Structure 1
């Protein structure tokens, strides 16, 4: 990578001022700051002094720094993912499979994924009660130690996690960590100065960590001989820029494949932590107490890591930007502070290269932070998203010119000016709207019954119901048409029938030789979170067209591409994409108005709860249909609300709490009968795991009411025979969730091929 002048240097002039102010304030002696953007280095500067003792030396851009914990992601996480790609490791295997002695003293169930996401339950540092020295001494101390908490129940940032991972790299590859990384990561990338234990020739360019020169500052890594999975790596800003660009390139750099695109996606895919608002990738930080300097300015979807010595690397994939800040804040007296420089530089870069709303402006973290809920108005600065309909309008409806068109839509299909998709197509020049097709709930979205076909009283056009005797357009319905246009607001859950209607219509269009256009719209519950069991293909139905997880994290246009290619439908598909859409946005952050997509989803809160609560709906329960708050309450005449609420609250399910309630549905199941149950309060939508909620509800009801709860009827919604069998066997929610993770990982690989945004 070479420096670029495509972006005026003046845009980053404030970084000079910020760095010099921090040096003048005594927070740091010097720094190197580098910004990469769209494949080029757009800013690189050195400031202040590399060292002040025993004599002053000026900082230079090629200075090597002790990266401290940035080692975890540059070296160890990358090595682990390479070994996963080669089939030598599986993330959801117990670490003891690869290091059998590790399984003693209560550590037998800890998985590689839990080590990488700091949810293993291990202590933060190697237990210092026993006197140990050298590498093997550290290993023995780890083997003798016990977890502080049950794996998978809490986030605790831990150097031990990555020391264990480094040892597993050694055991599986047959190479010490430093040799493995040099051979498989640093040399293939062409990194010139990235190494553990810098050679004497490099030491004149090394910034002292404290008063040590060229030796790792981290006490544990130092005692282990200078190399550990948690710390010990030295590097320069230029080398880190190459590494960051490799990630932005989907694992490819200068023609060399370091990681697969799927691995890069997996590294930065957020993992919610039980009972906390922390989000971690595989090694990488996404949102935690350690990330606030960056997430106060950089948006959700960005990720990075910081180091104790004053180093940091933060990456923003959407804008193709990364920020590298290297300081040696502990030199000379151990009292420096790199955080103000990080926060100010991140804010400046985010303003110079607009990236969207800052993560912390959308969802705050910390014990004293109020959760930001749907409709809070705290994301009002977000520009409105332009839907696929607006893209089509901007193109003057050119793709449809000369065509006879049928439209599959309902009340959610509206343009930015409030006009319906039907009206917009009917009045568009150069095309003829010939037929209207409606999904479940009808054209107005109000009906909860089978619907007959009819005629639109306004346009006189036929309205063909796809939720009556026919669920797929027939040859008669398609007669005389050249193209079908689909414009319906999706909900983001596997068992919502609108996406099956789209797929069936694509099949019919392919058979008839028609063009098929999808006017894309946002996933209202955001398109980054992917959760829940993947459906067994043998359970395919109108409420489960494809083996999707419960929350698939895709837009309807992306789903159309997936269906078309994975099932070889052969539709002549064209997706009209949105403009200004960020896939990590909830609907209330898009600037688009909420429209009830169906009679019983009346708010964004209910849409978020729906993929969890609906998992138990097929059983003998009321989920609030026939009340004012469907999917915010769950109950039945045979339930004690206080007993169920107490059980569920003790489970500390992330992002949701429960209060006892009574209600009387006016329609649907238990009509006009008194029900007791729980009211759900969504407290943090970013950490909320809807399928986990559904699993916890199911297990609670099976445990408390085994003679009343009809467990077998939940199979169609979970979509997994294995999950149902695990519940019957009495397995814990954590164990069942771990069980579905491998299929979820496989889905993520498929999904990655079809993402547009």
Structure 2
């Protein structure tokens, strides 16, 4: 039976991973399993959803496919773009790939979903993006919108699966889809879903979550050598503000700060590895956001922020752990002098309802808040179990 990882096991896993050196050597992503999918693409007109993470060893997937004679007609680009990395939230423009000349259509602009004309001359859409396992990471929503377009237009959707670096646990509040559905959350799932994109696509199909309950013609090229206990180190950064594994492990806990006055370190050399604001009392640690790669206009630009230093969270054993850490955001709320202006409207969008904000304001502890998630997490875990492809 497929099970979630306990806190004791996660410690053992990390020790094993550290002592084993490069544990990724025996693992193959879906994109690397060319023998499995190239025969399926012969004679097909292909579109690809890809970005800088879509690599087959050291060669981009698009370049690999072209070298094998695959007929790529179109490329779809998610947030941050196709080959390059644009700032968070930057509108991605359509154009053409400077390397191959193939047309690139942005799915991070006013258009978030392919239209029928985009797919008119396409037989199969390939999806190959690296996820980090959270509800609010926008590649997940992009995948679901493309699935929906394929289902509506009778096209096959093929996922080249990749490991989830936060795939060893499930945690967080469940999204209230009646009131808080958005591009950073469209399904009734927790913040950390513990699934690969291939598994999640199966769940979307199986649970009838596409518009009108339609089903997509789905094919998943699974990974080999991967389990949900694998502590997978990303070979390519998934987005400009997740520059290392420390930030990837902290992201599920620190992303809530985007809905507050706090900076999470955008505009520094350590995004998603610190928390702070100018009004927080001096803690002995400070940082000053400045325009930089991935953040041209960061929150609190040029102003010194005081707060929490998590740059050594991995080395200090704070992450990876199989749970969201609420203590940091609660500590910052309690330290902030102007509590009425600590949260903004985006917090509820990220949390999936107003409940978490209300719980923090009421003075509930992290333990008490986590207890309120138990029933929803149990329901989701039972659903998730049906669609797991890996132990």
Q: Tell me the TM-score normalized by structure 1.
A: 0.47
Equivalence for 1:545: 186
Q: How does 1:158-237 map to 2 (within 5 A)?
A: none
Equivalence for 1:698: 329
Give the alignment partner of residue 452 of structure 1, picking from 65, 80, 93. 93
Contact 1:562 1:751 in 2 (8 A): yes
Give the C-alpha shift of residue 707 in structure 1: 1.6
Contact 1:524 1:587 in 2 (8 A): yes
CA distance in 2 between partners of 1:617 and 1:561 (Å): 30
Measured against aligned partners, the alpha-carbon deviations of 1:389-425 in whole angstroms (never above 9, x if no partner) come to 122x113611122210000000100102x11111122
CA distance in 1 between partners of 2:4 and 2:228 (Å): 13
1:390 aligns to 2:125 (yes or no)? no
Equivalence for 2:173: 533
Equivalence for 2:304: 674
Are residues 360 and 620 of structure 1, via their aligned partners in 2, closer, same or farther at CA, if it must alter by over 3 Å?
closer
* Secondary structure of 2:137's aligned partner: coil
Structure 2: gaps (5+ residues): 292-296
CA distance in 2 between partners of 1:562 and 1:685 (Å): 31
CA distance in 2 between partners of 1:615 and 1:523 (Å): 20
Are residues 641 and 572 of structure 1, via their aligned partners in 2, closer, same or farther at CA, if it must alter by over 3 Å?
farther
CA distance in 2 between partners of 1:380 and 1:670 (Å): 38
Q: How does 1:375-454 map to 2 (within 5 A)?
A: 376=18, 378-380=20-22, 383-391=25-33, 393-395=34-36, 397-416=38-57, 418-429=58-69, 431-448=70-87, 449-454=90-95
1:623 aligns to 2:358 (yes or no)? no
Give the alignment partner of residue 584 of structure 1, picking from 207, 224, 229. 229
Give the alignment partner of residue 608 of structure 1, picking from 249, 265, 285. 249
1:717 aligns to 2:350 (yes or no)? yes
1:486 aligns to 2:127 (yes or no)? yes
Structure 1: gaps (5+ residues): 1-249, 251-264, 273-278, 280-286, 288-299, 301-358, 365-371, 643-658
Contact 1:587 1:594 in 2 (8 A): no
Give the C-alpha shift of residue 445 in structure 1: 4.2
Contact 1:609 1:690 in 2 (8 A): no
Give the C-alpha shift of residue 685 in structure 1: 5.7
Q: Which has the higher contact order (CA 8 A, sep 6+)?
A: 2
Equivalence for 2:289: 664
Measured against aligned partners, the alpha-carbon deviations of 1:203-222 in whole angstroms (never above 9, x if no partner) come to xxxxxxxxxxxxxxxxxxxx
Are residues 690 and 618 of structure 1, via their aligned partners in 2, closer, same or farther at CA, if it must alter by over 3 Å?
farther
Measured against aligned partners, the alpha-carbon deviations of 1:290-323 in whole angstroms (never above 9, x if no partner) come to xxxxxxxxxx7xxxxxxxxxxxxxxxxxxxxxxx
Give the C-alpha shift of residue 628 in structure 1: 0.4
Measured against aligned partners, the alpha-carbon deviations of 1:206-261 in whole angstroms (never above 9, x if no partner) come to xxxxxxxxxxxxxxxxxxxxxxxxxxxxxxxxxxxxxxxxxxxx5xxxxxxxxxxx
Are residues 737 and 511 of structure 1, via their aligned partners in 2, closer, same or farther at CA, if it must alter by over 3 Å?
same
Give the C-alpha shift of residue 621 in structure 1: 1.7
Equivalence for 1:572: 217
Contact 1:601 1:607 in 2 (8 A): yes
Give the C-alpha shift of residue 380 in structure 1: 3.2
CA distance in 1 between partners of 2:139 and 2:24 (Å): 28
Instruction: Answer with 1 or 2: which has the greater Rg.
Output: 1
CA distance in 2 between partners of 1:733 and 1:550 (Å): 16
Give the C-alpha shift of residue 549 in structure 1: 1.1
CA distance in 2 between partners of 1:481 and 1:634 (Å): 45
Instruction: Give the number of equivalent residue pairs.
Output: 373
* Secondary structure of 2:276's aligned partner: strand
* Secondary structure of 2:219's aligned partner: strand
Q: Tell me the TM-score normalized by structure 2.
A: 0.89
* Secondary structure of 2:285's aligned partner: strand
Are residues 741 and 360 of structure 1, via their aligned partners in 2, closer, same or farther at CA, if it must alter by over 3 Å?
closer
CA distance in 2 between partners of 1:382 and 1:406 (Å): 28
Are residues 754 and 728 of structure 1, via their aligned partners in 2, closer, same or farther at CA, if it must alter by over 3 Å?
same
Give the C-alpha shift of residue 508 in structure 1: 0.5
